[in-house]
A and B are shown apart, each in its own frame.
Chain A
Amino acid sequence: MPDDLSMSLPALPPTEEIAALVAAKLNLEGPLLPILHELQETYGYIPENALGIMAEALNITRAEVHGVVSFYHDFRSRPAGRHVIKICRAEACQAMGGAALGAAVLERLGVEWHGTTPDGAITIEPIYCLGLCACGPAAMVDGRLIGRATFETVIEPIGERVK
């Protein structure tokens, strides 16, 4: 996932805290994905120092853990902006003008897909189907679903000034 290099990384969370989150899931069959979801939920991204902790706990290499993290679109290696806009790019939404909606939002924010505005306010991501295909175009803004989305309904929920 391309990152916005202008954003600096926050301080890494304490090792013991991460280790505790990891340990709490070790009784599951196939615990790595649940662990990664938990980390991302807690910190908003997968902290660099968590890789080694997971590797050790699961008895696999750090490279293997990195391989898993980087495989999945959902996991971030650095935090997203304060708001996240996801716009569906898939076919059914395209049939209802989804591509134009995506283009308009990108243009207004002045970023590319996966980009974050320079003030760190908004990250915009493509998503491929939210299951709202009979009321497209669809979007998700800070976890809230929007059907028959328009430029206004996508931007509106974000309280911050959109330049």
Chain B
Amino acid sequence: MKFYVPRDAAAKALGADAVAAEIGRLAQARGLDIEIVRNGSRGMMWLEPLVEVDREEGRVGYGPVMPGDVAAILDGSAQSLGPVEEIPFFAKQNRLTFARVGLIDPLSLAEYEENGGLIGLRRALGMSGEEITREVTESGLRGRGGAGFPAGIKWETVRKAEADRKYIVCNADEGDSGTFADRMLLEGDPFCLIEGMVIAGLAVGAKKGFVYMRSEYPDAIEVLDLSLKVAREAGLIGRSVLGSGQAFDLEMRVGAGAYVCGEETSLLNSLEGKRGVVRAKPPLPALEGLFGKPTVVNNLLTLGSIPIIMAKGAAFYASFGLGHSKGTMPIQIAGNVKYGGLFETAFGMPLGELVHDVAGGTATGRPVKAVQVGGPLGAYFAPEQFDTPFGYEEFDGAGGLIGHAGIVVFDDSADMLGMARFAMEFCAVESCGKCTPCRIGAVRGVETIDRIAAGEAEAVPLLEDLCEVMKDGSLCALGGFTPYPVLSALRLFPEEFGRAKEAAE
């Protein structure tokens, strides 16, 4: 009998370690011959810890499992969820990037290969950098870190740049509230990221890569560290990638709790050992990035989508999606939801379908009041806008952004003035301090919202002005996009800012 108990941070936070220990203890007491695999999470967080058992007739799931449930699972008397792939939340997905997450032992390179891993890299090793880059461009893959810039075009700039050294940097800072896809992919399938980064190195002519991890992810840090050792021993990274004679090595670095270090130029400064202040652009990091050298900075999901694109071809990937949003997006459904977790689907699903049909509405059972999409710099959406299809242009057109594709749901008890205040407060705490609109503007924003809360509705135009200044004058999207949640809350719920509904429209 084989047991799968996730080592994913969320599963552990809900008690997976105690469950794994109990399975081991009881099996030993009963003299059963079992194996426990610590897999990634299947992404259905309301079922975690989700245990799967393989009695040689396919895997069946149980969840959420507490240590006290283990005896019945061993007996076979516990109520199972059936095959996990058939649970509607899972069955409705298009798992391309997350195909192996939850399925395999994250640290087994053999299982990685048996399940489609390394096919893309082997193909890339037989191609020129130009050919690899063209494939990525044709796939339509856009940056998953927030800005949605076409990955192939960025790679082409770095590929063409002349330099003695180039770098690939994976942005695994994942600071947005409501997002955890980078974490889950790393904890559940780290070789997928490693393979993607090696391919990026081959494409642009870089021999060194860095993964910049957030310090808030101790489990992901551990898994990446272990997987890098396995990869190096197996010759997947190092002096000669899979014996090809081409070198590529990877190093992990850990941030130190600064949200702004997810911004790419601030991240580069941090990697160099400096204060994580934002750099003015130009020069683009693609031309003058890490230590002044041409650098690809990509989000972890962007790089993690490369192996499947190289394995199945650009046309396959581009056949999913909507308009200019090609492929799939691992959407993270969070906050006050009944069925929260990771839902990878082709672009195009309407927001309301995600919130109501996929996520089942709120956990509290109360009506949905608003959802924030795209992290702390993303706009709030009200149910009236739930027909907006999940895509870059579509969200832009609706006055928002998809960002790193986190959806945070709030029920009708949410205090939207309070949420607007929090957005400003967060910006003030996390501002790198380089530009005035962000550093000072955010502090003034908190004060102005406090005045409005105290009954001074006349301060609303001041808040709107301030937001304009922050939008136009900030160096990066921290100050520049903080107005999104603030102004959207004001526009959707003017009465909470002491205004009649018409007055704000």
- Listed in ascending order, the chain A residues whose CB lies under 8 Å from chain B are 28-34, 36-37, 58, 67-68, 71-75, 90-96, 127-136, 138, 140, 143, 145-148
Bound Cα distance from A138 to B12, whole angstroms? 12
Contact among B179, B272, B333, B376 with A131 in the assembled complex (CB-CB below 8 Å): B179
Report 17 cross-chain contacts, Cβ distance below 8 Å, ordered by A residue: A30-B253, A30-B291, A33-B255, A37-B256, A71-B276, A73-B258, A74-B257, A92-B408, A93-B177, A96-B363, A130-B216, A133-B177, A134-B46, A134-B334, A134-B341, A135-B10, A145-B218
The answer to whether B332 touches A133 (Cβ under 8 A) is yes
Complex formed: what's the CA distance from A135 to B337 in Å?
9
- The reply to whether B256 and A72 form a contact with Cβ atoms under 8 Å apart is yes
Q: Does B175 lie at the interface of the complex (its beta carbon under 8 Å from any beta carbon of A)?
A: yes
Say whether B9 contacts A133, CB under 8 Å: no
Chain B interface size range:
35 or more
A90 with B218: CB separation less than 8 A: no
Can you add 20 more A-B contacts, CB < 8 Å, to A91-B372, A91-B419, A147-B14? A29-B251, A30-B271, A31-B273, A33-B254, A33-B255, A37-B254, A58-B273, A72-B258, A95-B409, A96-B335, A128-B177, A128-B426, A129-B176, A129-B178, A129-B216, A130-B217, A131-B183, A133-B406, A134-B10, A135-B10
Q: A131-B216, A143-B218 are in contact. Are A95 and B335 (CB under 8 A)?
A: yes
Task: Give 8 closest A-B pairs by Cβ, nearest first.
Answer: A32-B273, A134-B340, A90-B177, A72-B256, A95-B335, A147-B13, A133-B334, A73-B257
CB distance from A63 to the nearest CB of B (A): 11
Main secondary structure of the interface of B (DSSP, over half): mixed
* B484: interface (CB < 8 Å): no
User: Which residues of A are found within 8 Å of B409, using beta-carbon distances?
Assistant: 95
Chain B residues contacting A96 (CB-CB under 8 Å) are 335-336, 363
Residues of B within 8 A of A95 (CB): 334-336, 408-411, 414
Closest to A34 in B: B253
B340 touches A72 (CB 8 A): no
Q: How far is the CB of B171 from chain A (nearest CB, A)?
A: 15
Closest approach, in angstroms, between the C-beta of B405 and any C-beta of chain A? 12
- B180 contacts partner chain A, Cβ-Cβ < 8 Å: yes
Closest CB in chain A relative to B258 CB, distance in Å: 5
